[in-house]
Amino acid sequence: MKNSSNKIIVFDNVSATYENGVGIFDISFELDKSEFVFLMGPTGSGKSTILRSIYMDVFINKGKIIYNGRNLSKIRKRQVPRLRRNMGMIFQDYKLLEDRTVYDNVALPLQIAGQKSNFIKKKVSEMLERVGILDKYNSQPNKLSGGERQRVSIARALVKSPDLILADEPTGNLDPIVADEIIDLLEELSDSVGTAILMSTHNFPLIRPRQKRFIEIDQGKQITHDI
């Protein structure tokens, strides 16, 4: 499989297995810069393992993953935090800090990166406005609806201007109308900011009208590639 400058992710015959033998097997696909692609399959099919292997939470035992021209197998452990600065993660269960405000949750990645407070305030406000919840600036997460909490999660993932978003079932806990709104938002952000998005979902009816490329996974194996 060829790699080229317009590819942000290349999976080349990737396998990653756990001790019980479950995992992913011989997965191959490419993701262009600024492209939005769905990983589709039932719960337990291996979608999360694919995302976690890119984020280097899971280490592969066959094949190679190229991210922005770099072979992830050659990345040393101490280099992983720096690598992750260019990635954003969005989770099904939000993973917000419940004892901190919306502002504090979104500001956290920039604080960890050592950015100055004036820059952080400006960037967080811009991002909260972009995702439509600037008025929730000082709210606690437990005062928000599911859709609002996911918007906070999206703002947090995007605030550091990543070149790749990994979204793990981000609509799984939302009703169909709100789920559609979240995907609309992700599409809009991908188009306007140019961030590549790889989003996993088990809900085919949700993504079918989108007319986007998808990669179908079942029992750790790749079934199909295009919609």
Q: How many helices (H) and strands (E) does the chain have?
A: 7, 10
Note the pLDDT of residue 119.
97
> In the structure, what pLDDT confidence band is assigned to residue 4 with cuts at 50, 70 and 90?
low
> In the structure, what pLDDT confidence band is assigned to residue 3 with cuts at 50, 70 and 90?
very low
Report DSSP state, residue 143. Answer: G
Domain extent listing, the chain: 34-45+80-224
Q: What is the pLDDT of residues 118-152, one digit of tens each?
A: 999 999 999 999 999 999 999 999 999 999 999 99
Q: Which two tokens stand for residue 102?
A: 């919306």
Q: Which two tokens stand for residue 209?
A: 């009208």
Q: What is the pLDDT of residues 84-113, one digit of tens each?
A: 999 999 999 999 999 999 999 999 999 999
The gap from C-alpha 221 to its chain's centroid, in whole angstroms, comes to: 20
Note the pLDDT of residue 211.
83
Q: What is the pLDDT of residues 159-186, one digit of tens each?
A: 999 999 999 999 999 999 999 999 999 9
Q: Is residue 225 over pLDDT 70?
A: no
According to CATH, the superfamily of the domain at 34-45+80-224 is P-loop containing nucleotide triphosphate hydrolases (3.40.50.300)
